[in-house]
Structure 1
Amino acid sequence: MKDRLTLFCANASGDLKIKLLLVYHSETLRAFKKCKVQKSRLNVMWRSNNKAWVTRDLFSDRINEIFGPSVKKYLLEMNLPLNVLLLMNNAPAHPPDLHDDLLEEFKFINIQFLPPNTTPLLQPMDQQLISNFKKLYTKALFERCFEVTEGTNLTLREFWKYHFHIVACFKMIEKAWEGVTKRTLTSAWKKLWPESVVECDFEGFEIVPVEPVVNEIVSLAKIMGLEVDNNDIDELVEEHSQGLTTEELMELHCVSQQEVV
């Protein structure tokens, strides 16, 4: 439950979701062999380091291997000019000179950093979108738990120990990311770029209609005999919302420097 896994990216039109980056502690796991997983065919970009952190090198790989090819393919298919603005916060893994790391074929990507300390206020992915994803993921987790334990004597502890592993996590991540709607993705840009969501304003929808998802999670939990309410789900979702500590940031910087060397 303490693992941090994913990095999010999507466009303002809501019709392009970039494959998620998943950083874990280990490169090769027993579950991979058991489920005959080929890393190159995963529904996420799989990387690892001891701290399970996104470092500069990992982020640069993501830009050149996933983001660049995805947006180029999208633009060509949509008959749009090769012109991209990538907006990011100033996290330690997002170096100011990131443009220098781009492959020549992706130099059409322009990079703009948001002002410091504005992520909760402006950054689209932080406007309830990540929270929505976490709730959809939690719902998928409870559904899987219910499927496995229904009609058996399996306890939740046994499910967690013997029937939940990283490959199952991949499937839940994919299901949750697919469940994030175009409406949710578009409305997440409302604070940063209001003009991009004007066409949707007449519908009068809220930023992220997630309450039904929470209610479904609570219902599943109660069926399995758990005492869970909406506040518990909100607490679970918010648990990983805190940023890294100063010590962690310093350690991450050291790790990045070692990678560069």
Structure 2
Amino acid sequence: MTTIKRKALSLQEKIEILKVFDEKSQTTNQTQLAAELQLPVSTLRTILKNRVEIKEKYRLGGVQRKKQKIGKFDKLEKVLVEWLHQARALKLPISGPIICEKARKIAESLHITDFNASNGWINRFKNRNGIVYRQISGESETVAQQDVDTWMATLPELLQNYEPRDIFNADEFGLFFKLMPNKSYVFKGETCHGGKANKERLTVLACANSDGSEKLRLLVIGKAKNPRCFKNVRSLPVTYDAQSRAWMTGIRFIDWLKAVDDHFQIKCRRIILFIDNCPAHPKGVELKNIKLVYLPPNATSKLQPMDQGIIKVLKQGYRTRLIHRYLQEMEDPDSKRPLTVHDAILNIAAAWEAIKPETIQNCFKKAGFRNNVVDVVLEEEGEPLILQGFPGYSSIDDNVAPYEIQSIEDLIENVNNTQKEALSDNDEDEDESTPVLSNAQALSAVNDLRRYVASLNQSEDALQKLNYIENLVIANASFNQTKISDYFK
């Protein structure tokens, strides 16, 4: 028996082997195909096992390189690669001289004195990291159709071992939570780097699965760790975190990822989670029950389900509730009080709860997740009637950056895995504390709601929920040993 020697294969050769396998897999077994290709069977099986990663590397470039060489300035290059990811996520045009200048600054920060950003170095750096220059044509938001087509061809392989309920997408967005229509044109197109707009913003992370059966608890990031409006509040319908500018950061995203990973580990479920390449989404996070997949850069407008309408509908639901709140205050001036972060959290959570599974299914399908979602009719979500009189209002903060732009020093700390962000117990905001109703007032409100709901069609479920709330109020009254006379005050 002839022994076939092992040899190093380039990425291009591995791609060709995968093509041959796809053509002949129905008629030829792996042993026969390995012999035909003059490969050890173990090599063929390894290539097949890693086919998704191989295709992704091929898509990113560097097809002829057989082994990844480590440069002399490995740490510098790692920091530079992270900076490039951040720059491209922000859709900034990058040139060779810009890369060299940034490399020199990183070298200075790392106290490297013998670094020379020569043409030879930059060529080797590009080859090591699969970096290619492309001419930017048209708008910076333009999506390369070739990247979309390549991704669409790869997607079925990524999804083949997952049920629709185990396929998730997550994305963040900025929210001007106090913004009313009469202020909308003040902030139109701004990216919110300071001033009043920044003071009235939140960052929200939403995550849902492809069949719409599971919408994970929203992550809401505000400025203050303990806002005054949280006084007297013992439970929230979201996960709340704080950052001095209300931005998502790499540390917070990793914390969220690990919490979700623990959640599915307890449920003994393995999921696949698709996220974009924004600077706040670090790579290399070790997870047990989540397979993390990064969407192609600059293509999320077509390939990310959240961007196909889920976030849009969520914002519409929030702003519909905001307008109703102000209309109610016009009718009842005595009920008027400042909108707080707590109010915003309750409204955004209610809007998230109201999104229909069909809406989420449609958005996943529109993003190309066709083989793993139930067959639904694609219908565009119409804008709520109350918002139609305010063009652009529901999308006014679409350009708000939800993540932190990291400096070179931050990127170096990330590479060193020593970044620790101190979060102050910031309680200096303008929110008022949340007023607490007495048990008697709460029961009166429940009874008023019950009478209103009973006048509506198909209200049985809502009435049952009101019964649950009433029982909760009564149980709380019993726990606090409320006297019966308190109900007549």
Instruction: Report TM bin, short chain.
Output: 0.7 to 0.9
Give, in whole Å, the separation in 2 of the partners of 1:61 and 1:179. Answer: 27
- Matched with 1:129 is 310
**Letter matched to residue 61 of structure 1:** D
Equivalent in 372, 387, 405 of residue 196 of structure 1: 372
2:338 and 2:401 mapped to 1: Cα distance? 31
Distance 1:238 1:132, change over 3 A: same
Residues 1:137 and 1:245: Cα distance change in structure 2 (over 3 Å): closer
Structure 2 residue 339 is the aligned partner of structure 1 residue 167: no
**Aligned positions of 1:144-223 closer than 5 A:** 144-152=325-333, 159=336, 162-190=337-365, 191-197=367-373, 199-200=375-376, 204-206=377-379, 208-211=380-383, 213=384, 215-218=385-388
Which residue in the other structure is 2:250 paired with? 56
Equivalence for 1:223: none
How far does residue 170 in structure 1 lie from its aligned partner after superposition?
Answer: 1.3
Unaligned runs of 5+ in 1: 77-81, 219-228
The structural deviation recorded for 1:111 is 0.7
The answer as to whether partners of 1:22 and 1:44 remain within 8 angstroms in 2 is yes
**Deviations 1:112-166 (CA, angstroms, capped at 9, x unpaired):** 1011111111011111111111000001111122223314378xxxx4xx33111
Report the AA paired with residue 47 of structure 1. D
How many percent identity over aligned positions? 26
Distance 2:402 2:358 in 1: 34
> How far is the alpha carbon of 1:174 from its aligned partner?
1.2
Q: Look up the match of 1:239.
A: 396
1:97 corresponds to 2:287: no
AA aligned opposite 1:90: N
Does the C-alpha gap of structure 1 residues 23 and 251 become closer, same or farther in structure 2, counting only changes over 3 Å?
Answer: farther
- What is the match of residue 222 of structure 1? none
1:10 pairs, out of 199, 203, 208, with: 208
Say whether the 8 Å CA contact 2:361–2:374 is kept in structure 1: no
Residue 254 of structure 1 corresponds to which residue in structure 2?
410
CA displacement 1:23-45 (0-9 Å, x = unmatched): 11110111111xx113xx31111
Give the TM-score normalised by the residue count of structure 1.
0.74
Cα 1:24–1:245 change in 2 (3 A) is: closer
Q: Which of 55, 58, 68 is the equivalent residue of 2:261?
A: 68
Structure-2 change in CA distance of 1:251 and 1:243 (3 Å):
farther
- 1:175 is displaced (CA, Å) by 1.0
Match of 1:221 in 2: none
Q: 1:173 to 1:60 in 2, by over 3 A?
A: same
Q: Give the Cα separation in 2 of the matches to 1:249 and 1:194.
A: 34
Go from structure 1 to structure 2 and tell me whether the alpha carbon gap of 1:143 and 1:172 turns closer, same or farther (over 3 Å shift).
same
Paired with 1:244 and 1:53, the residues of 2 have a C-alpha distance of 8
CA distance in 1, matches of 2:400, 2:338: 31
Q: How does 1:3-42 map to 2 (within 5 A)?
A: 3-33=201-231, 36-38=232-234, 41-42=235-236
Question: What SS is found at the alignment partner of 1:237?
Answer: coil
Distance 1:58 1:150 in 2: 41
Which amino acid in the other structure matches residue 68 of structure 1?
D
C-alpha change, 1:205 and 1:244, in structure 2 (3 Å) is: closer
Q: Does structure 2 retain, via aligned residues, the 8 Å contact 1:12–1:185?
A: yes
Is residue 301 of structure 2 the alignment partner of residue 120 of structure 1? yes
- C-alpha displacement at 1:91, in angstroms? 1.1
In 2, Cα distance between equivalents of 1:31 and 1:256: 37
Output the CA distance in 1 between the equivalents of 2:289 and 2:357.
25
Letter in 1 for 2:347: M
- What is the alpha-carbon distance in structure 1 between the residues aligned to residue 411 and residue 338 of structure 2? 34
- CA RMSD in angstroms comes to 2.7
1:225 is matched with none
Q: Deviations over 1:12-59 (max 9, x none)?
A: 0110001111111110111111xx113xx3111111111211111111
Counterparts in 2 of 1:42 and 1:251: CA distance versus 1, 3 Å:
farther
Q: Distance in 2 between matches of 1:71 and 1:62?
A: 13
Shift of 1:197: 3.7
Distance 1:150 1:205 in 2: 39
Bigger Cα Rg: 2
Instruction: Find the residue that maps to 2:339 and give its secondary structure.
Output: coil
Paired positions, count: 218
Cα distance in structure 2, aligned partners of 1:165 and 1:198: 39
Hey, what's the Cα distance between the residues in 2 that align with 1:29 and 1:117? 36
Alpha-carbon contact 1:85-1:110 (below 8 Å) kept: yes
* Native 8 Å contact 2:261 2:289 kept in 1: no
Please give the alpha-carbon distance, in whole angstroms, between the structure 2 residues aligned to 1:126 and 1:4.
Answer: 18
Q: Quick check: 2:203–2:221 contact (8 Å CA) kept in 1?
A: yes
